[in-house]
Structure 1
Amino acid sequence: MSQTIATPPTVRLDTDVIGRPVSRPEGPAKVSGAAKYAAEFSVTGPLWYGYIVSSPIAKGKITKIYADEVLAIPGVQQVFSHENVPSLAWFDRSYKDQVAPGGSPFRPLHEPEIQFSQQPVAMVVAETFELARYAASVLRIEYDVDEFNTDLKAAASKSFDAPKGKTGFLPPPKPKGDMDAAYADAPHKVSGEYTHRAQMANPMEMFGTTIDWLGDGKKMKIYDKTQGAPNVQQYLTKIFGLSKEEARIISRFTGGGFGAGLRPQYQVFMAVLAALELEHSIRVVMDRSQMFSMGHRPHTIQNLRLAADDKGHLQALEHTALAETSQFEEETETVVNWSGIMYNSPNSKFDYQLTRIDVNTPADMRAPGAATGSFAIESAIDEMAYAAGVDPLDFRLLNYTYEDPTENKPFSSKRLDACYHEGAARFGWEQRTPEPRSMRDGNMLVGWGMAAGCWDASTQKAAAKAILHADGTLVVNSATNDQGAGTYVIMTQVAAQTLGLPMAQVKFNLGDTEFPEAPIQGGSWTANSVGTAVQNACQEVGKKLLKLAQDMDDSPLKGVDFEDVQFANGCLRANEDVSRSVAITDILAASGEAKIEADGKAGPNPANLLKYSMHSHNAVFVEVKVDEDLGTVHVTRVVDAVAAGRILNPKTARSQVLGGVVWGISMALMEEAYLNNDLGRYVNHNYAEYHIPVNADIKKIDVIFVEEEDHIASAIGVKGVGEVGMLGVAAAICNAVYHATGKRVRELPLTIDKLL
């Protein structure tokens, strides 16, 4: 049975707004081309262009740059490299940049040493894009080449424990019981190695920056492709010694990020560098191949051992992982912990190791760590279920956790069991025959597989400002981001609902550092963090409105407390007698106020963090059809049942889950950044050879939102859906392929050669 501890507080909300599948207000601008992205903004004067030059070697040192040859070309303004940057930008190796994820990121053009292939080594600035690109192509650079290693397995012997206290990283759970003895004594056991190579976020919009040089000291308007404008501002002000007024960051629209935009990428540094030196407006955009040089989901090797008794109860669970990191950072992910949260075993052991290779630092990528860990544990659980002779769904229910075994805390809410039951019913799981190769459709082998996942439900510090105008229109501002998740529409819904206004009278603005600060958009925390700040700001406006209403002559609301009023249909009225009502516009007109402003903030509740384990959950059911002769795999049907707290907008939330499922299909069957270890370079660094799904690859996807509200995880009952919808999809596909073919594949992507 499910466990729901959270109790909703008293909040006046109009259910006609929240929970409706409302379309995005910015949608028409996006489809018509009116929405401007970072590399599309106009500037006040002439615009020059920077083109980045990337290293052709994986490790070594620059010995000579023939910049004079390029500077002699008419229209070329400057060649930036390590030779002229140190006097312009402040760098300190001991300084840890306070950027997300935490660490000390690679510093472009800082020194002649080459630390990874495609490292930016220079930038040519010219009066036109075509000239900058041509000049960059003929810039001669000489290198001394050093020996390098980009092979994770070859570096495994030098692995080390991931550093504790690393931002965003939870150390592996402590061991329980006697894992080795329990494994040895159990009647049913499985063990295996599960691998996926590096995967790239590769959003459609390439990383770019347009700088409008305003000519007032060092004042700049910086349009950047990012998942967090305040994060970029913090980075630039520290590196270049700028004030916030000198570095205003604007990011109104982001054409996908998936984690790649959590950190400021190197093009924004190089654009600001050039603008400050040349005192001119600059635009710098990465090309597609350079998008493969800025971080990736790390190549990871996982090992699991599971053992169960005769009835299918887990007796032993061991999950270890080895992941890559760069030579200059210790990038970490939470990979193995999810196994201990999801499954109850009296004997367990976990370990997470890193090893250094000569690549750029891996980066957070949608559901970082969890997408990796869920593939391994959910594949191994399927194998364990077969070994114990138990249906994979029944096996998961047998080993269900009603509290978090890794932290010995109750869940703030958990309806994964409902995800299992509702997903199975929608999919028709009861019609499955368990034997591999037992289901067919003509010459196609049919397989049904399932898996599950969980993701942190966390709240970050966020702020918003609400401004109610005398004509009844409401403007709400926050420096948050929208990379496509639907932030514009759900924040408009929260604001409209809180003050009882039609959505047409509410405008939500984001992506500008002149607005109240908000966290980067990542971790599935935007809806609950910024949404709570928006609600709080609007409630503060409401309190001011009530005071003004009570100052009116013959006010029907005299003596009514704020807790006893509601906002609906543009009016403020008493709960017990809705005829005691005043129109919001009448309140403002009587007061003589042109507008009412209020700020709202949100943040984590420390007491709840200590008491509860907070997660979203999902269960995925997949049908595949495998051509018996050719070995091609077709994902023909997916049901993804998600419990993610209160769903603010089922239309945009469903879109998020659809995207997650598509990415899970891509992770399972297509994605692999092929690293040639002889060159130390990703050789398929383009859309033509880095395979991702197209429309023809995607068939029926059914999304279920299990009813759930969690006011412990967040004040507005939301958990977040951005990451969790992807979890388990890759494992469910692999499990379905086993059911279809009888062959286990433990290495992603699951390509034809692995089935033949």
Structure 2
Amino acid sequence: MANSISSTGTDSFVGTARSRVDGPAKVTGLAKYAGEFTAADLAHGYVVSGGIAKGRITAIDSAAAEAVPGVLKVFTHENRPRTAWLDYNYQDAVAPPGSPFRAFYDDKIHYSGQPVALVVAEDFGTARYAASLVKVSYEAEEPLTDVERQREFGYEPPKKRAGIKPPPEPWGDADAAFASAPIQLRGDYTLAVEHHNPMEPHASTVVWDGDGAITVYDKIQGVSNSQGYIAGVFGMDKDKVRVLNPYLGGGFGLGLRPQYQLFLAVMAARELERSVRVTLTRDQMFTFGYRPDVRQTISLGADEGGKLRSIKHDALSGTSRFEDYQEVVVNWSAILYGACENVSLDYKLTQIDTYTPADMRAPGAVTGVFALEIAMDELAHATGQDPIAVRLKNYTDRDPTEDKPFGSKALRACYEQGAERFGWSERNPEPRSMRDGKELVGWGMATGVWEALMQKSAAQATLTADGKLVVGNSTGDIGTGTYTILTQIAADALGLPMEDVTTKLGDTDLAEAPVAGGSWTAASSGTAVMKACRKIAADVFAMARAMDDSPLANVDLERVVFTGGRIEMAGDPSRSVSLVDAMKAAGVDKVEATESAGPDAGHMKEFASYTHSAVFAEVKIDEELGQVRLTRIVSAIAAGRIINLKTARSQILGGVVMGIGSALEEESMLDHTVGRFMNHNFGEYHVPVNADIHDIDVIFVEEDDKANPMGVKGLGEIGIVGTAAAIANAVFHATGKRIRDLPITIDKIIG
């Protein structure tokens, strides 16, 4: 039992395909989201968004709005209640260095769409109408939102963001090696700004409990972050603040940090001493929450056979004026191809007049790997090598950025299995050589990589006298299937059917766990749940041994299995005791345990841990119209042990679809004259829809990893990394036109 995930006999749920335990609640509408909880005296707030990108507010006239029947109050910077906001610079675990945005702090405008007023009324319709009557006057300044114009002001951030590794020191002489290399390639790469567009907009419902206590339903990927934010900003005791988020309609990183509607809702509830809900509109969702604008230059020097002699990868990323948002963008070049003897990586920031960028599924890796993997395809073409062959020539089993071997790396198998499933051997390497009727056919591939992390996490478990088990902690299920995999792990640990296990998440009253992000939840919360259940198993086994005439009286824990709600002697099912009988004999009505789990410091010191993938894409392009059809993708994933084959495949599918959006459709268009994103709606901001998605095949490559007791690496991010590059490389193969500026639109193909 001590050395395995499961302590069951013949039944095992971990490693099988299981439907979501929360699926029925979601499809029937029983699942409630942050903006759907209610209270008897619930008031509604509507945000008035600012009309300029930079400057100051000179006057706010709210008289007409306040005169509307049903309006309770109009909040602005002029009448905002004093809070600890003025004295306390709240920083959560995922915030970048700097000073977080403070709604209604003063008259300054920092970005387009900044909240300037909150109208609170008895109902939403009244609040929305009254908000249209608020008149705001400004003194405008010229906004600077063009990263390219700000290039000369690039700087290295004085403080590093927690958890974000800076580029390693250069090794060798990349410039000299490039200058002497027979093959020299240099390119500039840009990925358009993309906005988060989760199905559920940001919302906060604050229920006034009386006596200064509040219960908050917030759209957040970690309720502890919201609780800490509220306590810090408003000077409240944490025991007066309970935050819940049982369901999340899409996280992807936007829900890691509390957003401004939480501050506004809590502020209004405390001032009015009643419950308040604030929900942002889709238009307002386009004023923050975007993948940063990053300009990249990659220089590769190689010999005639495609062996790299020099790698230079430089990136300049936009950030806000008030925070130094940072990602790992350039390190991936060394992590994947660091066997090269001359490497120079550089990452700088430049300030622009927008909101701080947000973490967005595989932040940094999506950006950096897209450029790197297009550059590697260019190297393959320039040297006449197969794209897989040139990658294998530069393969490394060590992470040179940390000077460690990988704990596991099944990337070679990803290449092999992905290529075989795709039919890569049938590819004619010559661009424009493959056709299907009037369409050009292109086949491209790319590598994906993402960190395999584990965070410290606690979990609790309670087994009751009826044989039912409840487990959980404060982390959230952001759509990844966490409810389901934790149920599987718990059921296996105590040999119970899954229907006898209930998982609770997203509540600050539960054991504390990290935010759901970074692809670390399965390893972190999964291990904690497993440990808590094993503690219960040991306790109940002791009760079973102590029973009168117990068939397990002289049996050690290592010689039993938990299956079918019973504790059995391994190999002798006739010697068994039910969990219920053991508890009854001991005279207890429940057995509880809370356990913590964290990363193995020794393993982390000795090994580097990453997930890897190989992505293969086929496009068909109308030669006259330039219209791209992505007809199929094969994604081969090496991510350690897979807990649930069904939800795991779903994660990769979702990542691939987002990668398709990056490659072909998603583009937030920023008008630099006014400093505003202009296509702030789903009519003009395009995302993949059903008609855009065809065959997506997912392969899970067998991989044994010891980075954590679960043997898992996480799947939330790896599905998107490399997908855009594979598509771009397929477009080149089809057309002979190399496009380094995503998304790939018709004008770039036929222009």
Provide TM-score, normalisation by structure 1.
0.97
| Matched residue type, 1:566 | V
- Distance in 2 between residues matched to 1:96 and 1:342, nearest whole Å: 37
TM-fit CA distance, 1:197 = 2.4
Cα pair 1:99 1:234 within 8 Å, conserved: no
1:346 to 330, 341, 344: 341
TM-fit CA distance, 1:306 = 0.6
- Distance in 2 between residues matched to 1:107 and 1:396, nearest whole Å: 47
Question: What does residue 631 of structure 2 align with?
Answer: 636
| Matched residue type, 1:39 | G
- Distance in 2 between residues matched to 1:433 and 1:167, nearest whole Å: 46
- Distance in 1 between residues matched to 2:157 and 2:713, nearest whole Å: 28
Cα pair 2:520 2:713 within 8 Å, conserved: yes
1:508 to 503, 514, 528: 503
1:452 to 430, 437, 447: 447
TM-fit CA distance, 1:164 = 4.7
- Distance in 2 between residues matched to 1:554 and 1:35, nearest whole Å: 48
Cα pair 2:5 2:709 within 8 Å, conserved: no
Cα pair 2:92 2:257 within 8 Å, conserved: no
- Distance in 2 between residues matched to 1:88 and 1:191, nearest whole Å: 53
1:439 to 434, 441, 444: 434
Instruction: List aligned pairs for 1:109-148, cutoff 5 A.
Output: 109-148=104-143
Question: What does residue 537 of structure 1 align with?
Answer: 532
Question: What does residue 162 of structure 1 align with?
Answer: 157
1:752 to 732, 746, 751: 746
Cα pair 2:405 2:607 within 8 Å, conserved: yes
Report whether the alignment pairs 1:40 with 2:36: yes
Cα pair 1:101 1:168 within 8 Å, conserved: no
Question: What does residue 380 of structure 1 align with?
Answer: 375
| Matched residue type, 2:549 | D
Question: What does residue 553 of structure 2 align with?
Answer: 558
Aligned to 1:293, the other structure's residue is in SS state coil
Question: What does residue 27 of structure 2 align with?
Answer: 31
Question: What does residue 670 of structure 2 align with?
Answer: 675
Q: Please list every run of 5 or more consecutive structure 2 residues that lacks an aligned counterpart in the other structure.
A: none
Aligned to 1:423, the other structure's residue is in SS state helix
Cα pair 1:231 1:520 within 8 Å, conserved: yes
Question: What does residue 306 of structure 2 align with?
Answer: 312
- Distance in 2 between residues matched to 1:397 and 1:486, nearest whole Å: 34
2:18 to 22, 27, 35: 22
- Distance in 1 between residues matched to 2:564 and 2:378, nearest whole Å: 56
Aligned to 2:306, the other structure's residue is in SS state coil
| Matched residue type, 2:724 | A
- Distance in 2 between residues matched to 1:380 and 1:366, nearest whole Å: 22
Question: What does residue 4 of structure 1 align with?
Answer: none
- Distance in 2 between residues matched to 1:86 and 1:147, nearest whole Å: 31
Aligned to 2:540, the other structure's residue is in SS state helix
- Distance in 1 between residues matched to 2:18 and 2:734, nearest whole Å: 40
Report whether the alignment pairs 1:730 with 2:724: yes
Question: What does residue 740 of structure 1 align with?
Answer: 734
Report whether the alignment pairs 1:477 with 2:469: no
Cα pair 1:88 1:277 within 8 Å, conserved: no
Report whether the alignment pairs 1:525 with 2:512: no
TM-fit CA distance, 1:11 = 4.5
Cα pair 2:90 2:232 within 8 Å, conserved: no
TM-fit CA distance, 1:89 = 4.6
- Distance in 1 between residues matched to 2:298 and 2:439, nearest whole Å: 31
Question: What does residue 391 of structure 2 align with?
Answer: 396
- Distance in 2 between residues matched to 1:260 and 1:33, nearest whole Å: 23
Report whether the alignment pairs 1:583 with 2:578: yes
Question: What does residue 101 of structure 1 align with?
Answer: 95
Question: What does residue 83 of structure 1 align with?
Answer: 78
Cα pair 1:162 1:352 within 8 Å, conserved: no
1:197 to 166, 184, 192: 192
Aligned to 1:214, the other structure's residue is in SS state strand
| Matched residue type, 2:35 | A
| Matched residue type, 1:27 | G
* Higher mean displacement: 567-576 or 34-43: 567-576
Provide TM-score, normalisation by structure 2.
0.98
Report whether the alignment pairs 1:186 with 2:158: no
Question: What does residue 241 of structure 1 align with?
Answer: 235
- Distance in 1 between residues matched to 2:583 and 2:308, nearest whole Å: 64
- Distance in 2 between residues matched to 1:239 and 1:465, nearest whole Å: 29
Aligned to 1:341, the other structure's residue is in SS state helix
- Distance in 1 between residues matched to 2:524 and 2:365, nearest whole Å: 21
Question: What does residue 329 of structure 1 align with?
Answer: 323
Change (3 A) 1:259 1:380: same
- Distance in 2 between residues matched to 1:127 and 1:86, nearest whole Å: 20
Question: What does residue 254 of structure 1 align with?
Answer: 248
- Distance in 2 between residues matched to 1:91 and 1:587, nearest whole Å: 57
TM-fit CA distance, 1:601 = 1.0
TM-fit CA distance, 1:16 = 2.5
Change (3 A) 1:608 1:550: same
TM-fit CA distance, 1:578 = 4.4
1:536-587 C-alpha deviation (Å, 9 max, x unpaired): 0000101111111111111222243333332112111233644432111111
2:709 to 707, 715, 718: 715
1:301 to 267, 284, 295: 295
| Matched residue type, 2:271 | E
| Matched residue type, 1:261 | G
- Distance in 2 between residues matched to 1:111 and 1:268, nearest whole Å: 18
1:289-339 C-alpha deviation (Å, 9 max, x unpaired): 110122210011100011211222111111110000000010000000011
- Distance in 2 between residues matched to 1:560 and 1:175, nearest whole Å: 59
| Matched residue type, 1:507 | T
Question: What does residue 616 of structure 2 align with?
Answer: 621
Cα pair 1:12 1:566 within 8 Å, conserved: no
Cα pair 2:62 2:74 within 8 Å, conserved: yes
Aligned to 1:580, the other structure's residue is in SS state strand
1:638-663 C-alpha deviation (Å, 9 max, x unpaired): 00000111100010000000000000
| Matched residue type, 1:319 | H
- Distance in 2 between residues matched to 1:336 and 1:508, nearest whole Å: 39
Question: What does residue 167 of structure 2 align with?
Answer: 172
Question: What does residue 263 of structure 1 align with?
Answer: 257
- Distance in 2 between residues matched to 1:173 and 1:744, nearest whole Å: 30
TM-fit CA distance, 1:212 = 1.5
Instruction: List aligned pairs for 1:632-671, cutoff 5 A.
Output: 632-671=627-666
Cα pair 1:77 1:126 within 8 Å, conserved: yes
Aligned to 2:187, the other structure's residue is in SS state strand
Aligned to 1:740, the other structure's residue is in SS state helix
1:667-710 C-alpha deviation (Å, 9 max, x unpaired): 00001110000110000011111110110000000000011231
| Matched residue type, 1:380 | A
- Distance in 2 between residues matched to 1:144 and 1:563, nearest whole Å: 74
| Aligned sequence identity (%) | 53
- Distance in 1 between residues matched to 2:313 and 2:123, nearest whole Å: 54
TM-fit CA distance, 1:243 = 1.8
- Distance in 2 between residues matched to 1:364 and 1:547, nearest whole Å: 47
- Distance in 1 between residues matched to 2:138 and 2:196, nearest whole Å: 30
1:221-269 C-alpha deviation (Å, 9 max, x unpaired): 1111111111110111110111223211110110001111000011011
Question: What does residue 590 of structure 2 align with?
Answer: 595
| Matched residue type, 1:503 | M
- Distance in 2 between residues matched to 1:341 and 1:556, nearest whole Å: 55
Aligned to 2:299, the other structure's residue is in SS state strand
Cα pair 2:406 2:607 within 8 Å, conserved: yes
Change (3 A) 1:96 1:271: closer
Cα pair 2:475 2:506 within 8 Å, conserved: yes
TM-fit CA distance, 1:60 = 0.5
Instruction: List aligned pairs for 1:682-697, cutoff 5 A.
Output: 682-697=677-692
